[in-house]
Structure 1
Amino acid sequence: MKIKLITDIDINSVKDLPKLKTLVEANNLDKPNFSEIARNLGVDRRTVKKYYIGADKKERKKKKSVIDDYYEIIKELLSDESSQMFYYKDHLFRYLQREHGLKCTRNNFNYYILKHEEFANYFKPKGNSNSIKTETELGKQAQFDWKEKIKFRFRNSEEIIINVGSLVLSASRQKVWLIYLSTSLDCVVDFLANAFETIGGVPKELVIDNATTMMLKARTELSDGTVNPKFQQFADDYGFKVVPCIKGRPQTKAKVENPMKIIDEIMTYNGVLDNIEQLHEKLEQITNEANTRICQSTGIPPILMYKKEREHLFPLPQEKICSSYKLSSIKVNVNTNALFSYKKKMYSVPSTLIGKKVTIKIIENNLHVYYNKKLITVHEIMENKKITYTEQHHLDMLKQTFRKHDGVEEYAIQHLRELEKFNEQLSNIT
């Protein structure tokens, strides 16, 4: 067996030194003069020795990500046992910022989620519908729609179905989102009247869908459709033009449709809030955040562009007209038991409202209770019950009374059952 040995080697850089080591060891030669090689290459002697022994590739320690501290939190939030829902990575990112103080860039967070397969599998890619991008002049247009039938559960397992009214100014993308338990025409005009008041004016035209509450006959490619006369009267009184989108073309109102996924962020609080007041506060926070983030289409936060767009809106009509379209309301006092009176029957509110005035609106045999324009709670109008307490309101009151006692929750349940029995006995007598 013949072996050809290499006895000559050119050392032009430190990268050639591993070859020299191989030659030296194969021929059982003495170690080379590192100082002489260093002088010839113009580098430090220690550098020569490092590359000769093969330590040029130093194994680096993996740098810990700040997001690693949130691994267990993310794991719990995305688990099958969690009632909270995160439809998009952005929802989870903003929730962690808002509720757990996460501080990192969105790109780093997305990369972190994607490199963890157990997290990446939670989020499924959403298909994008094609639509032509259009821009409108300041103050010309707003778009309206409902985010309907959102099933939400509170901490005590009570479930409600909510709808979120959405008004978006087409130029600035300024948004107004409010919670309603109904999508009736009365609620539509109440929402729009309050939304116009919030933005401080009225756009020249309003793009709507073909919901039967607003359109008696849908608009098609061959027909203009028929607007509900009551809604048309509302439009005439406020001075805007009704622009129904063509049936089957939701992209016509893409500026109000696209942000709907942001409204889904309220589901990140599913099962962790106590009442509808807290739900309203979280939606208000989500709305404010959406209005202050840079819009991808305009490159400007909606709130900044809105300040300019507000100057181009029509003025609001007279207060008398505005009031006529808002749901009929009554102002009532809350007594020391956190109860207010309606038609000689008592209904509960959170104990924080004791001694204050609340506004009640009657919608489809329900009392909608507001404080500072925020929906606090909803009670079904009861003809046969003298006192109606919700479980949470009742527990709040007892906690105020028995602050230093254990087992208040169990006592509250028992006391509420006794109260309901008393109501039944009282109704039988009357």
Structure 2
Amino acid sequence: MLAMSEVNCIKTLRNEKGLSITEIAKTMQVNWRTAKKYGDGDQLPQEKTHLKKGMMYDEKWGEIVVDWLEEDLKLKKKLRRKNKKIFEDLVKEGFQGSYRTVCNFIQEWKVAQEEEADKGHERLAHPEGEAQVDFGIMEAVQDGEILDVHALIMSFPASNTAFSVPMPSENLECFLGGLQELFKQAGGVPLSIRIDNLTPAVKKVRKGDSEAELTEAFRHFQQYYGFKVQVCNPRKGNEKGHVEGKVGYVRYNFFSLPPVIKDLEDLTNQLEQQLINDRQRIHYKKEVLIDELWQQEQKQLIKLPEESYPVFKQFL
């Protein structure tokens, strides 16, 4: 299930911004069905438990089919059993039901698997002190002109807390300098940071069992501050689904209209205060103020070093 902040973003995009379901799914990086459910639903769906009946559920046949389907997932698609083959094998075991009954059961199982995959990021464990980081492009007005702002956002899934700093670009200096500012705002360094394959941080993406290779600059930066790095698998944005949601939340709550700013420092101060105020909400699941959860989680952070890492001196 999505966080309430993500649900609100979807509804805002649909009802106020007029985006299509496809555009919303792409923006929020959720499945099309999920975007449709929350964007067009009159109310939030409640989880229900349905007691299914029939020979596929009351007898052993359903369990047998599920075992076969799970076994086939380990094979190449062309080697997997078709519905007809599964039915014929069941008949050999003594099954007396119809072919249609088997097909319906298989279809229900596949739909359930797809829904579980859509919610996979919600099942990831999020211990206190673990952060996720990503860029999001926003718009602001400076000196009467609209400019693109590359907001670097760091979120903490355990407490649903977020920090953001606007940068002029997404290059190495902006990425490392932005992380330093986020550490200061948070009052410490996360125990670990989950990122995708950001160019300033990742030199070589992970393939198969091989680990991602970090850029030398980011590796030195990481070692100086002492945090661990978790790089997402290619095309697995759900592995950092919390910060993806926060990018959308910041964009459509604080940038729904491009803010008028003096400079990026002015926008940094505005964003920091808005996100501080935002912690006065009740956590969507834990029913406690986000600020209280953050104060507890903050104790897990690594202490900031006395001197900041010389990002700009080294790389400019």
Q: What TM-score comes out, normalization by structure 1 length?
A: 0.44
Query: Which amino acid is 2:278 matched to?
Result: A
Corresponding position of 1:167: 154
State yes or no: 1:122 paired with 2:30.
no
Runs of 5+ consecutive residues of structure 2 not aligned to the other structure:
1-7, 32-117
In the alignment, is residue 294 of structure 1 matched against residue 190 of structure 2? no
SS at match of 2:151: strand
Aligned-pair CA distance for 1:313: 1.7
Decide whether the 8 Å contact of 1:142 with 1:207 is kept in 2. Answer: yes
Q: Is the 8 A contact 2:139 2:147 kept in 1?
A: yes
- Residue pair 1:215, 1:228 contacting (<8 A) in 2 also: yes
What is the distance in 2 between the residues matched to 1:285 and 1:123?
Answer: 29
Q: How does 1:70-85 map to 2 (within 5 A)?
A: none
Counterpart residue type for residue 168 of structure 2: L
- How many residues align? The count is 213
Q: 1:248 is matched with which residue?
A: 235
Q: Which amino acid aligns with 2:236?
A: R
Could you tell which deviates more after superposition, 248-257 or 284-293? 284-293
What pairs with 1:135-150 in structure 2 (closer than 5 Å)?
135-139=125-129, 141-148=130-137, 150=138
Q: What CA distance in whole angstroms lies between the structure 1 residues aligned with 2:216 and 2:261?
A: 40
TM-align CA RMSD: 3.0
8 Å CA contact 1:163–1:181 kept in 2: the answer is yes
CA–CA distance in structure 1, aligned partners of residues 310 and 201 of structure 2: 18
Deviation at 1:239, TM superposition (A): 0.8
Evaluate the alpha carbon distance shift between residue 120 and residue 242 of structure 1 in structure 2; reply closer, same or farther with a 3 A threshold. closer
Counterpart pick for 1:308 among 285, 293, 296: 296
Secondary structure of 1:254's counterpart equals helix
What corresponds to 1:209 in structure 2? 196
Contact preservation (8 Å) 1:89, 1:123: no
Matched, 1:234 2:221: yes
- Taking the aligned partners of 1:280 and 1:204, their CA distance within structure 2 comes to 24
CA distance in 2, matches of 1:301, 1:204: 23
Is the contact made by 1:202 and 1:315 (CA closer than 8 Å) also made in structure 2? yes
User: TM-score normalised to the size of structure 2?
Assistant: 0.59
- Greater fraction of residues in helix: 2
Larger Rg: 1
Percent identical across equivalent pairs? 22
**Cα drift, residue 87 of structure 1:** 6.9
Cα offset, 1:220, TM superposition: 3.3
The residue matched to 1:196 in structure 2 has which SS? helix
Structure possessing the higher relative contact order (Cα contacts under 8 Å, 6 or more residues apart): 2
Paired letter, 1:324: P
Distance 1:290 1:246 in 2: 31
- What CA deviation, in whole Å up to 9, does each residue of 1:39-65 have, x standing for no partner? xxxxxxxxxxxxxxxxxxxxxxxxxxx
Instruction: Please give the alpha-carbon distance, in whole angstroms, between the structure 1 residues aligned to 2:220 and 2:309.
Output: 14
- Relative distance call for 1:194 and 1:285 in structure 2 (3 A) is closer
